Amino acid sequence: MSRVRAVGRRIRAARRRAGLSLADVGELAAKLAGVDIDLDGLRAIEQGRAELPDSKVLQALGRALDIDPDELSAGNRYINETSQALLEVVEALSVLPLDPKSVTALAEKLGESRDQVYRALVNLDAAGWAEQTPGGGWRLAPHVSQLSRRLGLALDDAYRRHLT
């Protein structure tokens, strides 16, 4: 993975964790750091289709997202491309989860190669997280909803213990 794409993924992940839209981040960057970031430019950065942002832009994004700008640019040695690709595919499959998606559609949505998406799908299938439908599309496997139900039950249990 290119450094630009890695930085873009970290920015997108931080933005999503903060529950912010692209417009929100642009507004915060302008307000907190006085840097105007074009919405299309920010989208291109997140998708790894732009030049690596300069330090002024990274500083502004760090302030807007309340994270250390060095974390955006340097990355984390424990983050690896394959794991990130798997998670992005799971997230993409979770949108309209009952509608199977083709490898091509997923690759276009994620901005990845068909080969990389297919490899991720095969690995998810082997782990019981995704399945290929008779029509050739891919969707999340029932195993994922079982995990979700277990988590929901555990949260209900924890709430009951702490609220009663």
- Give the model confidence (pLDDT) of 67-98 as tens digits: 888 777 765 566 677 887 888 899 999 998 88
Residues 39 and 47: their CA atoms lie apart, in Å, by: 12
Q: In which domain, by residue range, is 18 found?
A: 3-74
| CA–CA dist 5, 3 (Å, integer) | 5
Residue 154 in any domain: the answer is no
3-state secondary structure (DSSP) of residue 131? strand
Choosing from 55, 74, 93, the residue where a domain stops is: 74
Q: How many domains does the chain have?
A: 2
CATH of the domain at 116: 1.10.10.10
pLDDT at 48: 79
Q: What is the pLDDT of residue 1?
A: 46
Residues 69 and 92 in one domain: no
Is residue 153 in a domain? no
Q: What is the pLDDT of residues 93-124, one digit of tens each?
A: 999 888 999 999 999 988 788 999 999 999 99
> What's the pLDDT at 46?
86
**CB proximity list for 71: less than 8 A, separation 6 or greater:** 10, 62
Do 89 and 68 sit in the same domain of this protein? no
pLDDT tens by residue, 25-78:
989 988 888 888 888 988 888 887 888 788 888 888 888 998 888 777 765 566
